[in-house]
Amino acid sequence: MKSDAAAGPELRRVHPASMLFFLAKGIKEMYGMLPLLPLLVLWVPRATGLDVSRVVLGALLGGLGLAALLAAAWLRWRRFGYAVEAGSIRIEQGVWSRRTVWIQQERIQSVDTRQNLAERALGLLQLRIETAGGGEKAEAVLPSLSAAEAARLQRLLGYAEAGPDEGGEADRWNEPSAGADDGLRRAGAAPVPIGARGGEGDAPIAGESRSGEGDAPMAISARDGGDDAPMPGDARVLGDGGLMAAPGAERQSLPSESAAPAAARRTGEPVVQRRIRPSDLLGYALTSYRTGIVFLLLAGLLSRAADSGWLRGIDLRDEMERLFGAYAIAAATGLLLVAAWLLTALQLLNSNWGFRLERRGRKLHVERGLLEKKRQTIDISRIQALELAQPLLHRPLGWVAVRAFIAGNADEKERHLLLFPVLKRAEAEAFLRGFAPAFALPADWSRVERSAWSAYAGWPALFALLPAAAGWIWIPDPYRWLTALVPAAVLVYGTLEHRHAAWALEGGQLSLRLGALIRSELLLPGGRIQWHRRTQSPMQRLRGRASLTVSIATGKGARAFRLRHAPHAAVQQLLRQLSWRPRRGSESTAAAQRMKRPHEERIEH
């Protein structure tokens, strides 16, 4: 909602360092006008007849543009303010036209913080507020806040634990605005604190009180109180980089323990925490599948640079042949792979440095980053599905990455949020009990039939022989043999996909196991599935098979998952169970009530 502000709590102003943020924003907005600068340098002397050096004129115009950007950044800072009202946060901004935005608390999906190197040096950070349907960017960004002010706002919006210092003195730059020329609307009322809970995000999650089976390395509480059960006594850290739990719960023998933060004692909420071990982070960075993607990007960039004349006077092919002779291509490929491997490892180390996942009651806090420190806060009820991803190189090590599909996760470049980058597959069940108790790994998987291998790998490999034969005819030696790799790669890929394909339906949760190079175990609660459908081609009808597609909602639109070439009877049974509706007045479990979703069938001819 955008309109003129009504009387309300006094607006607070952000730190003056936020002018750098507004300056960068202004430069980005004016980036498209940079080509006008050389045109003005050429046009002004001709239009005015003045004998002015182009260098001096260019410097003068550039200085005027920079001065205008600095003035605009100062005005934006002066006219930017925010206030927390009852049930919402109000943000006013704008230089020439005033814009006021109200964001209702129940529409907020996450309240995250970010901190780059400059902000870290000043002890400041950014607060980013995302809402349902907020689009590709965060709905609101509050730059250059002190840590105390950011924590205060998170508490008022219900995305951080309450502390004894709430309502205390904020830093001098986050106090209410003063002065007659700032253009901000003010009133005498003080900000109204919002309760720490409320809105649809606090709806109970069925199955969260399930204790699970097996040897769990932690327990949240000895009482069956669910997520909001009080934690008796002090919380504890269990093991190196492991989980944090209450001492009053059922305990296992663990190597080491230490006291938990005092916030757990203040709030009485269950606290679970896990940090990544440095050795695991290093192994994760050095074995990432993204190396192949970076390799292709580097190869394309290098080819473009050679063709465009960027490397003038250098013939890359001649230089490689002079250095390595007949092994020039192999050497160039190896050098690019090493460069891609190092770049990928450095990027992953930077983005996941100090990775820490913490659960406080119904909130999950994800903190990570070296050069830019990020802290994301989400409500557990916003998790639409979980994915346990296991790339090919991580499979022998028994590592998996846990990803969450979040409603309103619009600021992420991908459609999922990384809950934890790497942990042992044997620890996954305990991890879910601690951080996402509404989800559980299936006890048994139903795999697709062996005869479905031809649909996954056999027929695609035969079809891949056609382009391979054309390449064998037209591609000269010594690269002709590369065409034989095409059907071989298709065959291996399809075989892996067939081996992994499986499904399970237990306790109202649909589990799918998909993928080839990256094996994904998807945990989809029935109540989170937006739609599902059955498709059946003529060939599948002859073989008695069908495909099942299910979709969930994420911040960037729907995300669909497809189980291919499963037995038709099994797909029909899944459709009936996912679409079952209890009769009015009948007694049923909460899990069955959550599975009320329509389904559609589409038969391909």
DSSP type of residue 475: S
What's the pLDDT score for residue 475? 84
Q: What is the pLDDT of residue 496?
A: 96
Answer whether residue 544 shows pLDDT above 80. Answer: yes
Q: In this predicted structure, what is the pLDDT of residue 136?
A: 58
User: What confidence tier does 510 reach under pLDDT thresholds 50, 70, 90?
Assistant: very high
> How far is the C-alpha of 430 from the C-alpha of 257, rounded, in Å?
18
Averaged confidence pLDDT in the chain:
75
pLDDT band at 324 (very low <50, low <70, confident <90, very high): confident
Segment 115-121 mean pLDDT? 84
CA distance 169 to 255: 42
Which of 357, 355, 345 is CA-nearest to residue 383?
A: 357
Residues 6+ apart with CB under 8 A from 580: 592, 595
Dist CA 3 CA 101 (whole Å): 7
pLDDT digits (tens, 9 = 90+) for 263-300: 444 455 668 899 999 999 999 999 988 888 888 888 87
Could you tell me what percent of the chain has a pLDDT over 90?
33
pLDDT at 87: 78
pLDDT band for position 305 (50/70/90)?
low
pLDDT at 485 over 80: yes
- At 330 the pLDDT is 79
Q: What is the largest CA-CA distance in the chain?
A: 92
pLDDT band at 169 (very low <50, low <70, confident <90, very high): very low
Q: Is the pLDDT of residue 333 over 90?
A: no
Question: pLDDT band for position 533 (50/70/90)?
Answer: very high
Least confident of 315-319, 423-427, 532-536: 315-319
d(CA 533, CA 502): 17
Q: Where are the domains of the chain?
A: 12-157, 277-353
pLDDT band at 46 (very low <50, low <70, confident <90, very high): confident
- Among candidate residues 388, 390, 409, 408, the one with its CA nearest the CA of residue 398: 390
Return the pLDDT at 379.
Answer: 86
Binning the chain into helix, strand and coil, the percentages to the nearest 5 are 40, 25, 35
Query: What are the angstrom distances between the C-alpha of 294 and each of 97, 214, 389, 562?
Result: 44, 41, 20, 28
Q: Given this model, what pLDDT does residue 408 score?
A: 59
Question: What's residue 560's pLDDT?
Answer: 92
CA distance 588 to 184: 55
The per-residue pLDDT for range 336-355, each reduced to its tens digit, is 889 999 999 999 999 999 99
3-state secondary structure of 604: coil
Q: How confident is the model at residue 166 (pLDDT cuts 50, 70, 90)?
A: very low
pLDDT-wise least confident of 96-110, 194-208, 343-357, 461-475: 194-208
Cα angle: 375, vertex 381, 383; to 5 degrees = 65
What confidence score (pLDDT) does residue 217 get?
Answer: 36
Question: Among 439-453, 463-477, 484-498, 522-536, where is mean pLDDT lowest?
Answer: 463-477
* 473 has pLDDT over 60: yes
Residue 378 has what pLDDT? 85
Confirm if 270 and 229 have CB atoms less than 8 A apart.
Answer: yes
Does residue 318 or residue 145 have the better pLDDT?
Answer: 145
Q: Give the mean pLDDT of 504-533.
A: 94
Q: pLDDT-based confidence at 247, cuts 50/70/90?
A: very low
Pair 214, 31: CB distance under 8 Å: no
| DSSP structure class, residue 360 | E
The confidence score (pLDDT) of residue 294 equals 86
% of the chain surpassing 70 pLDDT: 71
**Separation CA 129–CA 398 (nearest Å):** 36
pLDDT above 50 (res 5): no
Token pair of 273 as six digits:
């925490």
Inform me whether the pLDDT recorded for 171 exceeds 70.
no
Q: What is the mean pLDDT of residues 208-236?
A: 37
Q: In whole angstroms, what is the distance from residue 155 CA to residue 148 CA?
A: 11
- Say if residue 208's pLDDT is above 60: no
Structure tokens at 394: 């991580």
Contacts of 32 (CB under 8 A, 6+ apart): none
pLDDT at 598 over 50: no
DSSP state for residue 167 in the 8-state scheme: T
Give the angle 129-132-133 at the CA atoms, nearest 5°: 110
Q: Can you point out the beta strands (E) in 502-556?
A: 502-506, 509-514, 518-525, 531-536, 545-554
According to CATH, the topology of domain 12-157 is: PH-domain like (2.30.29)
- DSSP-based three-state secondary structure for 18: helix
pLDDT grade, residue 183 (50/70/90)? very low
- Per-residue confidence at 505, pLDDT binned at 50, 70, 90? very high
Instruction: Tell whether the model's pLDDT for residue 134 goes beyond 80.
Output: no
CB atoms within 10 A of CB 29: 11
pLDDT at 550: 95
For position 119, what pLDDT does the model report?
A: 84
Do residues 300 and 307 lie in contact, with contact meaning Cβ atoms separated by under 8 Å? no
pTM equals 0.69
Q: What is the model's pLDDT at position 95?
A: 83
pLDDT of 480 reads 81
Cα–Cα distance between 574 and 240 in angstroms, integer? Answer: 41
Q: How confident is the model at residue 103 (pLDDT cuts 50, 70, 90)?
A: confident
Between residues 403 and 173, the one the model is more confident about: 403
CA angle 494, 497, 502 (to 5 degrees): 145
Write down the pLDDT at residue 224.
37
Distances (CA, A) of 537 to 253, 493, 546: 55, 22, 8
For the record, the structure tokens of 125 come out as 């950070």
Pairs from 198-201 (Cβ < 8 Å, separation ≥ 24): 198/105, 198/106, 198/158, 199/105, 199/106, 199/108, 199/158, 200/106, 200/381, 201/106, 201/158, 201/362, 201/379, 201/381, 201/382
pLDDT of residue 114 exceeding 70, the answer is yes
